[in-house]
Amino acid sequence: MQLLLANFILVIHALFVAFVILGLVAILPGKYWRWGWVRNWWFRLAHLLAIGTVIAESWMGLICPLTELENRSKEAAGGSAYSSSFIQHWLHEILFYDFAPWVFSVAYTAFGILVIIVWLLVPPGHTRN
């Protein structure tokens, strides 16, 4: 049961990451193609808060609560926990390269700055262009 929980948390975590990345990727073409949902105030606020949380955790040296929950569930099931953050772990698995934690803090911050720039270019709350 704990392994099932760990896998469920992994999926939720991956969906969170996809929301942050794909949310930003969708906003600019959404403006061009007049997708009303990309200007939805609640979507945009949730998106801004999501990346803001990631940035804050990163600069404060905190481990994401989802990573903590997944690690605890894996360990309870007899498995091994991540030795680094969720993103660091999966980038290492995909790229076979370890980046220093500060690289992620800078990358998250740069991404957050892009989110703010897009917020200004495509402000939420307006459905007409």
Lowest mean pLDDT among 20-29, 32-41, 52-61, 92-101: 92-101
Output phi, psi for 95, to 5 deg: -100, -15
Region 17-22: mean pLDDT is 94
- Whole domain around residue 54: which residue ranges? 2-121
Asked if the structure places residue 19 within a domain, the reply is: yes
At residue 34 the predicted structure's pLDDT band, cuts being 50, 70 and 90, is very high
Count each helix (H run) and each strand (E run) in the chain, helices first: 5, 0
The predicted model scores a pTM of: 0.81
Asked if the structure places residue 129 within a domain, the reply is: no
> 3-state DSSP: the chain helix, strand, coil percent, rounded to 5?
75, 0, 25
For residue 8, give Cα distances in angstroms to 67, 74, 79, 104.
12, 11, 15, 24
Residues 6+ apart with CB under 8 A from 6: 70, 73, 74, 77, 79
- As for how many domains the chain has, the answer is 1
Asked if the structure places residue 126 within a domain, the reply is: no
Tens of pLDDT, residue by residue over 9-18, are 888 988 999 9
At residue 73 the predicted structure's pLDDT band, cuts being 50, 70 and 90, is confident
Region 80-97: mean pLDDT is 71
Q: Report the distance separating Cα 23 and Cα 63, nearest Å.
A: 23
Asked if the structure places residue 127 within a domain, the reply is: no
Q: What percent of the chain shows pLDDT beyond 70?
A: 91
